[in-house]
Amino acid sequence: MPPDPETAASRVIDAARLDELRALLGDALDDILRIWLIDAPAILAVAHLARQTGEPDTLIKAIHGMKGSAGNVGAIELSELAGTLERHLKGADPALDLDAELSRLDACYNRAACHIRLLIQP
């Protein structure tokens, strides 16, 4: 049996974190979330380009940036996945399938973005 939508969302987005931010920032949170929806794909694009051009330092920096920015907006699944990938990259894990992991990161971003779009108040 698949998890109910609320349980699935709780694995993607930290609702408590967003509630704290909304209490602190009010409507400005929506602007921050909109900016994140633009910036996060750009970070992923840098990661993909660094992979293609063989720039490991740039790749690690992009993944680190994704980890932090996702954590800041409560996208916990994405932040955790980026953190795990960052550790594997820094450790030069020979078993790492980087293309598969970047695809997972893309899919994880898409899930987070879908949830965040629903949370932005009109």
The model's pLDDT over 76-101, given as tens digits with 9 standing for 90+, comes to 999 999 999 999 999 988 888 999 99
CATH number of domain containing 70: 1.20.120.160
Range of the domain at 98: 5-119
Percent pLDDT > 70 in the chain is 92
For the segment 14-40, the average pLDDT, to the nearest whole number, is 94
Q: Whose structure tokens read 């009109």?
A: 122
Domains held by the chain: number = 1
The predicted structure's pLDDT at residue 93: 81
Query: What value does the mean pLDDT of the chain take?
Result: 90
The predicted structure's pLDDT at residue 9: 52
Could you tell me which residue, 67 or 27, shows the higher pLDDT?
67
The predicted structure's pLDDT at residue 81: 97
The predicted structure's pLDDT at residue 10: 63
Residue 51's pLDDT band (cuts 50, 70, 90)? very high
